[in-house]
Amino acid sequence: MKRILFSLLMSFVFISTFAQIPTGYYDGTTGLSGAALKTKLKDIITSGHVDHGYGGLWTGYQTTDRDNIAGISGYENDGTILDMYSENPNGTDPYTYTYGTNQCGTYGVEGDCYNREHVVPQSLFNSTAPMVSDIHFIRPTDGKVNGMRSNYPFGIVGNSTFTSQNGSKVGNSVSPGYSGIVFEPVDAFKGDIARMIFYFITRYESQLSGFSTGNILGGSAFPGLQTWELNQLLAWNTLDPVSQTEIARNNASYLYQGNRNPYIDHPEYVNEIWGTPVVDTEAPTAPTNLAANTPTANSISLSWTASTDNLGVAAYDVYKNGVLNTTVTGTTATVYGLTPSTTYSFYVIAKDTSGNSSAQSNTVTETTLSGGQTGTVCGTEDFSNIPASANNYTTRTWTNNGITWNATDARTDQTINGKAITLRIGNLTSSSFSGGIQSLTVTASLKFGSGAGVLNIEVNGVQVGTVPYNAVANTTTTTTINNINATGNVVIKITNPTTSTSGPRVAIDDVSWTCAGVLGIVENSKNKPIFSIYPNPVKNNELFVKGENLNKISKAQIYDLSGKLIETIENPFRNSNKINLKGLSKGNYILTTDSYSTKFIVE
């Protein structure tokens, strides 16, 4: 016991000895600024840097990335791995990792294992040393979230396509100057991210011209970053100042690697080199006049008056029953997947490009309608007509069952339940077809690459859900997305969201859908229709309609209950209130006009 206590005491003394900046470490920086200061810091932090290799990072994390480093208070202070992508700074972590025990490995979902996240993607410098093993910008993070971050730059997300359990997001950028896909960490680590990237472009400034930019790096020693990314990181550096855990990590990294991050030791260096950023602390005004409208059995539409902001509103967070449901960039949203005959409450919060949030809007309540009819399977794609088997990636086009399909960056040599189409960095898109979509079923299987992930599913340009695929190659996963409720003409788009040609390449097979057609309109309209059919059942193939302003109706369409369009009649009631059904067979049908529809029976 005495030896153990002595060992612990000596470890504490050893760590405490280096719990501050070594005397003279930053000699020669006085009076310098801008590019000259950055270059001087490069010389300082290059000297003494010891490369322990990529595998050595696992050892380094024992002291650099534990919650409660060297006795410095962290979050839970439980000694688990301190992971920026899973740490909940304001509550209980969704999962934790034990050092050494939970190293990746393969992963399928969050919480499986932790791996090594290059904050500056290693693909930008071809995974070469010493960059590939520099602990100052390589952090242990959850494997799944690391995979979803991919090699995207960091920025403010507008509409998110993925949100981790601690709130880190992937989605389109609303950071000024860049509209591509970005990754946004939670607020508590935004400054950490900024200072790690500032370290990278300083330590390796003489090599930046030979690196890929990745929409992050600037390709020259100074300023070293793309303008938009520099502005975003400068703002994050100010809004999230250096913390005690960062200081403790910097000290531990110095002991492990022999150099330091100067922007943690001297936060003032950031502004002295790149200038003082314009920091936006003004929140947008609250959205007003929030209203709920056009409820169906499974959805409610919302609209509101736009917020204002000194620099610009980036997005709106829509809350359902107090829980974040979706994020949109416009002033309307439709919340799907609701339960029939159920009352929901909603409010909206605006966000600006700096991440400031408004007060919440007024709260509205609305009740979904009683359950309507569901569609039957009315469309399938089994890929039997795809082009001949080939292993190269290019655009593939074919037609089946009256629908033309276009697959970009796709190969045709893989199979699931017969022929399949395999997407790399591409998407599968249908031509427009009638009948609507109530639900959509897709079978997917990982063929090349590693890790689990999802395919994004859009109907008429709106993402309606995702289809997951297993991390184990050639494992088949079939997923049905319900309550899509898209009526009329529709277009299906299935996208593999990876941006790397070496990322997951996923095969798709057995796409099928049930039709919504006009059934939702029939069953779910709150208002009394402006017309009705008589007699009903219809006799002698003559359908009569009564109602107001019939002569103003520009088009009528007849569907069967599968959603198949039978006939379109232009200006159907210009001269009479009768439609000749032209020998329509016995059964149930739907008549729809410009705004309303109703069912009828043919005997």
Final residue of a domain: which of 209, 239, 274? 274
- Helices 2-17 and 244-257 cross at an angle (nearest 10°) of 100
Mean pLDDT per 10-residue interval, the chain, length 603 residues: 30 42 96 97 97 96 86 77 92 90 88 96 96 98 94 90 90 89 95 98 97 94 96 93 94 97 98 86 93 79 91 87 84 81 93 87 88 58 90 91 90 90 95 83 91 90 89 84 81 92 92 65 39 79 81 78 70 86 78 70 79
Same domain, 133 and 45: yes
Tokens of 245: 């855990």
In-domain check, residue 279? no
CB 545, CB 560: distance < 8 Å: no
Residues 168 and 246 in one domain: yes
CA-CA distance, 219 to 207, in Å (whole number)? 9
Owning domain of residue 592: 527-602
The verdict on 324 and 396 lying in the same domain is no
Q: Are strands 157-163 and 476-481 parallel, antiparallel or unpaired?
A: unpaired
Query: Within this chain, do residues 78 and 222 fall inside the same structural domain, yes or no?
Result: yes
Mutual orientation of helices 56-64 and 244-257 as an angle, nearest 10°?
Answer: 140
In a domain, 309, yes or no: yes
Q: Final residue of a domain: which of 339, 367, 395?
A: 367
Q: What CATH number is associated with residue 545?
A: 2.60.40.3080
- Note whether 266 and 301 are same-domain residues: no
How many CB atoms sit inside 10 A of residue 466's CB? Answer: 18
Burial environment of residue 209 by CB neighbours within 10 A (0 to 12, 13 to 18, 19 or more): exposed
Q: Which of 77, 56, 111 is nearest to 245 (CA)?
A: 77
Burial of 461 (0-12, 13-18, 19+ CB in 10 A): exposed
Do 459 and 579 fall into the same domain? no
Cβ 467 vs Cβ 455: under 8 Å = yes
| Number of independent structural domains in the chain | 4
Q: 393 in a domain, yes or no?
A: yes
Q: Which two tokens stand for residue 331?
A: 């002033």
Q: Is there a domain that residue 519 lies in?
A: no
- The reply to whether 296 and 336 lie within a common domain is yes
CATH for 328: 2.60.40.10
* Domain co-membership, 508 together with 536: no
192 in the same domain as 228:
yes
Residue 283 forms part of a structural domain: no
Tokens of 387: 């082009």
CATH number at residue 383: 2.60.120.260
Q: Is 171 within 8 Å of 161 (Cβ atoms)?
A: yes
Q: Judge whether 329 lies within some domain.
A: yes
Domain finish residue from 454, 481, 514: 514
b/e per residue 510-534 (b: at least 16 CB within 10 A)? bbbbbbbbbbbbbbbbeeeeebebe
H helical segments located in 258-369: 262-265, 268-274
Q: What are phi and psi of 527, to 5 degrees?
A: -90, 155
Q: Which of these, 86, 140, 87, lies nearest to 110 by C-alpha position?
A: 86
One domain, residues 317 and 172: no
Q: How far apart are CA 558 and CA 175, in angstroms?
A: 48
Same domain, 20 and 79: yes
Asked whether residue 546 falls in the same domain as residue 435, the answer is no
In-domain check, residue 260:
yes
Q: Which of 121, 127, 179, 178 is nearest to 150 (CA)?
A: 121
Beta-ladder partners of 242? none
* 372 within some domain: no
